[in-house]
């Protein structure tokens, strides 16, 4: 049976407050403030001294869970022009080539996540330079301090890595810019902060569902099995983040992909059992749903496949490669429409690549939260996750 979203819940400020027990929406709305705050804290923490102020031979980033997107963003921005390789590692083993000439970045909101802490400890043992971001007076902070690295504190009050993304990401962006790995100055980050503020204003709880872009998107994604597709590397990162937020926050299974590589595997699902064609293929779409159908007599409707296409702003002049991807994106969307897939599209606003990405992430973060609330769920509390954590803790001793 398809889940039912109650639109009245996401337009009722009191109902939102009742279900959002840890104020997830408020925390998401602080994203712009997080950027500005971390610029200041990074300066005070000596961000310019990362790696001794010298460009490393390579950079390795360790982040996972709600922090995983930090590594993805740095890898994305560094790929076009970084003079040194940037790689991602979620846990041990640390690659054998990491040594004193390399920089290891480890990110964990609590400063206790096993993967980043273990990677930082091994990097310190090998004499690599360290940059860590996380809670003060945590195992991660102590490892970094002992290794004479740079640790940037995340202020108290940030309770979830899902809602503290920009507190974790900003210091890493500043360090990478200072080392000449990416182009992301303080001015660019202030632009990011402004875009995040604009999205927070547009997606605020008091904005009604017929004009609030995040609430509109939540309604579009409801009663579906969502697939999130990015039209290139930038929106591929946004798609991964959106799928993670839908699963952790709205408790909706979601998959994601990036064009052009994921086109075939995504389109293949359009003639499966979760589209209007019911597995009969494109071009054999069934008639419109029977408005007189009784779910108690005829059985509940099964959830339908939903496609969320995240698109970048079109440049004034398209390269041949970009034009090819744009044509492929249009073809995928048309194929989805023909197959009876529920389709939603979010197009980035112009700006620095990180600004465009920030807008897409903010929109889908808010949408996942409103979807949870509309389904009658608390976006920040998952009993099964808590149960899993308890079981793991007991198993470890």
Task: Write the DSSP string, 271-323.
Answer: GSTTSTTTTS-TT-PPPPP-TT--HHHH-PPPPEEEEEEEEPPPPSS--HHHH
- Averaged pLDDT for residues 222-231: 94
Judge if the upstream peptide bond of residue 165 is cis by omega within 30 degrees of 0.
Answer: no
- Candidates 3.40.50.10490, 3.40.50.800, 3.40.50.300, 3.40.630.10; CATH matching 56-180: 3.40.50.10490
Torsions phi, psi of 23, nearest 5? 55, 55
Burial grade of 242 (CB within 10 A; 0-12, 13-18, 19 or more): buried
The residue extents of the domains of the chain are 7-22+195-383, 56-180
Burial grade of 146 (CB within 10 A; 0-12, 13-18, 19 or more): exposed
Q: What is the rounded distance in angstroms from the CA atom of residue 211 to the CA atom of residue 205?
A: 11
Q: What is the model's pLDDT at position 168? A: 97
Q: What is the model's pLDDT at position 291? A: 55
Tens-digit pLDDT profile for residues 366-375? 999 999 999 9
Band of residue 303 on the pLDDT scale cut at 50, 70, 90: confident
Listed in sequence order, the residues at least 6 apart from 145 whose beta carbon sits closer than 8 Å to its beta carbon are: 151
If one compares 384 and 335, the residue with the highest pLDDT of the two is 335
Q: What is the rounded distance in angstroms from the CA atom of residue 71 to the CA atom of residue 181?
A: 14
Q: What letter does residue 206 receive in the DSSP assignment?
A: T
Residue 315 has pLDDT above 90, yes or no: no
> For the chain, how big is the Rg over CA atoms in Å?
22
Judge if the upstream peptide bond of residue 361 is cis by omega within 30 degrees of 0.
Answer: no
Q: What is the model's pLDDT at position 287? A: 45
271 half-sphere exposure, CB direction, 13 A CA radius: 9
Band of residue 276 on the pLDDT scale cut at 50, 70, 90: low
Per the CB < 8 A criterion, the answer to whether 249 and 51 are in contact is: no
Per the CB < 8 A criterion, the answer to whether 263 and 234 are in contact is: no
Per the CB < 8 A criterion, the answer to whether 364 and 31 are in contact is: no
Give SS3 for 217: helix
Q: What is the model's pLDDT at position 364? A: 98
- Averaged pLDDT for residues 214-237: 95
End-to-end CA distance of the chain: 40
- Residue written as token pair 């579009």: 220
Task: State the CATH class of domain 7-22+195-383.
Answer: alpha beta
Domains 7-22+195-383 and 56-180 share a fold: yes
């Amino acid at each position: 049976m398809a889940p039912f979203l109650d639109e009245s819940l996401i337009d009722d400020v009191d109902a939102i407050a009742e279900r959002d027990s840890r104020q997830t929406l408020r925390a998401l709305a602080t994203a712009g403030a997080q950027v500005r705050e971390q610029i200041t804290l990074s300066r005070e923490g000596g961000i310019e001294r990362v790696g001794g102020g010298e460009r490393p031979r390579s950079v390795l980033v360790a982040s996972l869970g709600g922090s995983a997107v930090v590594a993805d963003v740095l890898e994305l921005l560094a790929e076009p022009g970084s003079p040194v390789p940037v790689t991602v590692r979620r846990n041990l083993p640390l690659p054998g080539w990491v040594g004193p000439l390399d920089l290891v970045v480890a990110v964990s909101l609590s400063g206790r996540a096993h993967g980043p802490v273990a990677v930082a400890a091994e990097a310190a043992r090998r004499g690599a330079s360290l940059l860590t971001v996380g809670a003060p007076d945590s195992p991660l902070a102590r490892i970094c301090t002992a290794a004479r690295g740079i640790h940037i504190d995340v202020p108290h009050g940030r309770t979830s890595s899902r809602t503290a993304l920009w507190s974790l990401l900003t210091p890493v962006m500043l360090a990478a810019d200072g080392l000449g790995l990416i182009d992301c100055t303080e001015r660019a980050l202030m632009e990011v902060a402004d875009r995040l503020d604009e999205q927070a204003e547009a997606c605020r709880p008091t904005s009604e569902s017929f004009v609030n872009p995040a609430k509109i998107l939540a309604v579009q994604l409801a009663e579906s099995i969502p697939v999130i597709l990015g039209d290139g590397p930038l929106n591929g990162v946004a798609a991964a983040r959106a799928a993670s937020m839908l699963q952790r926050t709205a408790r909706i299974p979601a998959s994601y992909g990036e064009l052009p590589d994921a086109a075939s595997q995504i389109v293949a699902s359009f003639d499966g059992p979760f589209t209007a064609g019911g597995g009969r293929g494109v071009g054999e779409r069934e008639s419109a749903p029977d408005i007189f159908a009784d779910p108690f007599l005829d059985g509940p409707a099964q959830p339908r496949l939903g496609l969320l296409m995240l698109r970048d702003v079109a440049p004034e002049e398209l390269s041949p490669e970009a034009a090819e991807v744009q044509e492929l994106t249009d073809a995928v969307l048309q194929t989805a429409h023909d197959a009876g897939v529920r389709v939603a599209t979010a197009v980035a606003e112009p700006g620095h690549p990180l600004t465009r990405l920030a807008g897409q992430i903010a929109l889908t973060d808010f949408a996942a939260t409103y979807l949870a609330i509309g389904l009658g769920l608390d976006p920040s509390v998952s009993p099964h996750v808590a149960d899993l954590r308890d079981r793991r803790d007991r198993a470890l001793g």
